[in-house]
Structure 1
């Protein structure tokens, strides 16, 4: 919609809620909703020279002209942004002001009119609030509450200071961020997704505008259309309101398949690619369009082969070829050893024990021994559950209290050794998965490279050795098949059997699509056929003229035309016949003259 660009808000939203206007409470609530709807439409408008910046200024002027208070508690102060489900505002919480809180501001998302009228919209926002509240994680925005004021439905959440990834990527368009700056951001939002997936929540609308950077790192926002991967009692699916973003949605989401973690993996990989390069891997095209056009992302400069392989696998358009989990994607991109260090710290017995150290020092020998015993039990329990990080944390707490504690030392050594073996096995499994994926795509070089890396880690692994032999056998068969087809195509070409050449070249390209020799033979054969068709057309045209000469008893002309046609098409039967007929006619004419 168009809106005032001269610094004045639209005339029909100048009324102030505190002006003492007449009417019922219901009418005032409707007026408030109408004002918010119009301000939201202003905020969404980009029909200005400066786009969103101008729209935001106009929306803020409208807010100042209309003191809007939700539930007599939240005073809308300024606009922050507009998304698929509504508009977001900075608001002052009067209850916090009353409590003399140093930070009385919150962010409020107000449901837009379009979604409010949808029968599932209220449920969607309620689910966002409840799910986000359950997703308590340093890299997920904190949601406080969900409420309504008359027809105005809204949600309160923490107010962030910084910028979203959309703005950051646009500032680095065409070049991207340095790898050392991009990877920590990617790690942050991937940790958030990993945590959510373990809780059974798929985001389903991950995009740069839904990831915010503040002083603490990256935080994921807007689980508004997130869908539970586990079954809920009401089977509510907010995807029914159709609010995903095409440029980041997986192919399966377009097909309305059941949400899977790999849907978020696809979106996360696109955002990672944009951060590293400053451009969309599929030039902004949606997954169905990219698949139809057979688009392939260009490799990212500066990434190691392992990192590019991890990113490339996560960017696969079809789920069958795509990395299935966010943890595998992040581990491949960051590396197993660094990945272990990126796992968020969750309060555990070890942390509690560490906090308690200051207390036990002053609580006497009995309390000290009790705390050591409890922490040792916790460490042993963690080890039995294969939670090696927890075991190491607890053992280290004990050793800070009692540096020569024999059981803690032994347990620490076992946990470190087991953790190293576990990480090694994971790395080997990942490389084996990569090799199998490459083999299925007939990328033998990629498969061999992955297996070589794996066999360095475990040289005697029989399963890997068998897979390596399979790769070698398939590569040899592939090469022999290609060679046989290319030899046959070249023989056909030499004999000028061009249709035969085309058939065999196409068969070779079916086995190896980028084989340059097969492509060259196919092009040459097509060219020769075209030339042959052109020559035949010219020969036919000349022969028609020759036949006209013959009908006029101009036999010399007929012979000349026949010979011209034969110059274009060797052994052209109609031309040979015309020439013979003309020569015979001349001979008969000469005999007649001699007799006279």
Structure 2
């Protein structure tokens, strides 16, 4: 595969990307002579430090493994385990694949939030030329696994306990100019110590932020999960914060009712069938919250006039009135 996955960049920026992979070449020779070779097979130990133990999951572009940090183990750490993410063999063959993985690292590393997955580092294994991320090893259910166990949806108290940290994490990302790009139940985990939003592999910075960061070329590669993708994305528009809001609204509706708001169809299909006209408030969702969620589910971006912070506010617990406090006594 020789086709690029990234939007065209000035030659200087491209040279800098490949400079990071040159272990021995003199700096003055890199731009003129360095031609990155195709990555080899994934070795058993990456970076001379991380021993892969087993596969945890495979996504559209990459795979995540449980790995043992041999350095931490050497110094007596009783829990030397990390998650290790690398691009799949197909994507690793692209000449700019490592830059693509670095983009995910650069975006996620900007976020310091209790409900966003923690990344430890980005490295390139010199022998195989395979780039990889190390991140916290999470244990728990993803939301798609939870939904398979709860086909009737979640009661309000439980739903609120998931919605608030999820929306808080998304709002934090947007405030720092980071767009997720692939929000869906399988990218949210209920870990032992709280919810985590993860997998910013399709994420991008907002316009003007991190201008030198490689960007995924959408004309050559389309990776949206159709039933969570906003209509404007399916029509070829750039990723935006409102698109993330649509995706998270679909997830929240699914948690409240046990079913996708539009029969698991894409927004384009659902709009053609006018499914938004028959959309009803889930029975377990408070009526006061429905207007905000309904607005976030609008097909047209102009009508989706609510941001992640406002959606969070709608789901947050409300202080009890004086009458409610009196009844409580």
TM class, shorter-length:
0.7 to 0.9
> In 1, distance between residues paired with 2:100 and 2:110?
15
Aligned to 1:223: 200
> In 1, distance between residues paired with 2:88 and 2:139?
24
Which of 85, 89, 95 is residue 61 of structure 2 equivalent to? 85
The gaps in structure 1 that reach 5 residues or longer are: 1-29, 37-66, 339-596
Aligned to 1:190: 167
Aligned to 1:155: 133
> In 1, distance between residues paired with 2:217 and 2:284?
37
Per-residue CA deviations over 1:119-171 (Å, capped at 9, x if unaligned) read 44322210111221121110000011112222322111000111211111111
Q: What is the Cα-based RMSD across aligned positions, in Å?
A: 2.1
> In 2, distance between residues paired with 1:156 and 1:330?
30
Q: Which structure would you say has the larger Rg?
A: 1
Deviation at 1:33, TM superposition (A): 3.9
> In 1, distance between residues paired with 2:316 and 2:211?
38
Does residue 145 of the first structure (1) align with residue 125 of the second (2)?
Answer: no
Which of 248, 263, 266 is residue 246 of structure 2 equivalent to? 266
Contact 2:256 2:284 in 1 (8 A): no
Per-residue CA deviations over 1:326-361 (Å, capped at 9, x if unaligned) read 0111212335659xxxxxxxxxxxxxxxxxxxxxxx
Which of 163, 166, 174 is residue 144 of structure 2 equivalent to? 166
TM-score by length of 1: 0.45
Contact 2:180 2:203 in 1 (8 A): yes
Contact 2:256 2:285 in 1 (8 A): no
Aligned to 2:188: 211
Deviation at 1:264, TM superposition (A): 0.9
Distance 1:243 1:120, change over 3 A: farther
How do residues 58-457 of structure 1 correspond to structure 2 at under 5 angstroms? 68-149=44-125, 150-173=128-151, 175-231=152-208, 232-234=210-212, 236-238=214-216, 240=218, 241-296=221-276, 297-334=279-316, 337=319
Per-residue CA deviations over 1:459-496 (Å, capped at 9, x if unaligned) read xxxxxxxxxxxxxxxxxxxxxxxxxxxxxxxxxxxxxx
The gaps in structure 2 that reach 5 residues or longer are: 1-36, 321-329
> In 2, distance between residues paired with 1:323 and 1:200?
18
> In 2, distance between residues paired with 1:330 and 1:266?
13
Deviation at 1:280, TM superposition (A): 0.6
Contact 1:89 1:107 in 2 (8 A): yes
Secondary structure of the residue that 2:121 maps to in structure 1? strand
Deviation at 1:236, TM superposition (A): 3.3
Contact 1:323 1:329 in 2 (8 A): no
Contact 1:251 1:317 in 2 (8 A): yes
> In 2, distance between residues paired with 1:233 and 1:312?
34
Deviation at 1:77, TM superposition (A): 0.9
Aligned residues: 277
Moved more, 151-160 or 102-111: 151-160
Moved more, 183-192 or 296-305: 296-305
> In 2, distance between residues paired with 1:187 and 1:239?
32
> In 2, distance between residues paired with 1:317 and 1:325?
15
Contact 2:163 2:315 in 1 (8 A): no
Deviation at 1:298, TM superposition (A): 2.9
> In 2, distance between residues paired with 1:233 and 1:275?
36
Contact 1:204 1:225 in 2 (8 A): yes
> In 2, distance between residues paired with 1:327 and 1:248?
19
Contact 2:289 2:315 in 1 (8 A): yes
Contact 2:185 2:251 in 1 (8 A): yes
Deviation at 1:235, TM superposition (A): 6.2
Aligned to 1:369: none
TM-score by length of 2: 0.79
Secondary structure of the residue that 2:275 maps to in structure 1? coil
Contact 1:90 1:107 in 2 (8 A): yes
> In 2, distance between residues paired with 1:237 and 1:108?
22
Contact 1:120 1:238 in 2 (8 A): no
> In 1, distance between residues paired with 2:316 and 2:133?
35
> In 2, distance between residues paired with 1:326 and 1:107?
29
Deviation at 1:323, TM superposition (A): 3.5
